Amino acid sequence: AVGLAAAVCGAFWKPRALMRAPSMAMATVVAGKHEDEGLGDPSTFADTHMVMFTVDSEDKGLRIDQVLQSYLPAHFSRSRVQRALKNHSVLINGEPASKPSIKVRAGDQVQYCDAATEDVGVVRAEPLPLTIYFEDELCLVVDKPAGMVVHPSKGQRSGTLVNALLHHV
């Protein structure tokens, strides 16, 4: 999938039970209110999230940062949500919401898309097995084994396709 690192979206395990769409490059997650539905371990999901929901009457009048916090995974800090607001990563009814103090109304459509960035440090070349189908000065076609992570991340810094490719070139 082209741009997979930037496009993978997921959501998970929070009292408002976000549903994950693992087969979609961009997951549109519609949140419902279901208490204590554990949908997985946060370490198994990408750190990029897209959540869309409609504010219900129970949340009307609350600040957008508080409402978002209740729909997002537990490891999302309030400061991360506020930073997303400042960076215009939150839309209310299609318009950027830049202040955490904005009050939401019942029926408001909220969209949050956050591509978390993280410094994974130096990526090292590793002599991992690669099946190469084609190679020239401009192109390299490889068979990525199922289960092999594409690039280093917080959860896995070695044993990735990028580590193998660095060793090969």
pLDDT at 107 over 90: yes
Distance, in Å, from the CA atom of 71 to the CA atom of 31, rounded to the nearest integer, reads 7
Domain map of the chain by residue range?
A: 4-115, 131-168
Q: What is the mean pLDDT of the chain?
A: 71
The pLDDT assigned to 103 comes to 94
Tens digit of each residue's pLDDT (9 = 90 or more) over 138-163: 899 999 999 999 988 877 888 999 98
pLDDT at 117 over 60: no
The conformation of residue 88, written as its DSSP 8-state character, comes to T
The pLDDT assigned to 116 comes to 52
pLDDT level of residue 17 (50, 70, 90 thresholds): very low
CB atoms within 10 A of CB 77: 11
CB of 68 within 8 A of CB of 110? yes
Mean pLDDT calculated for residue range 62-91: 85
Higher pLDDT, 115 or 89: 89
Higher pLDDT, 153 or 36: 153
Least confident of 42-56, 71-85, 124-138: 42-56
Mean pLDDT calculated for residue range 103-115: 86
- Architecture of the CATH domain 4-115: Roll (3.10)
CB of 53 within 8 A of CB of 110? yes
* Radius of gyration, alpha carbons of the chain: 19
Least confident of 43-52, 58-67, 121-130: 43-52
Higher pLDDT, 107 or 31: 107
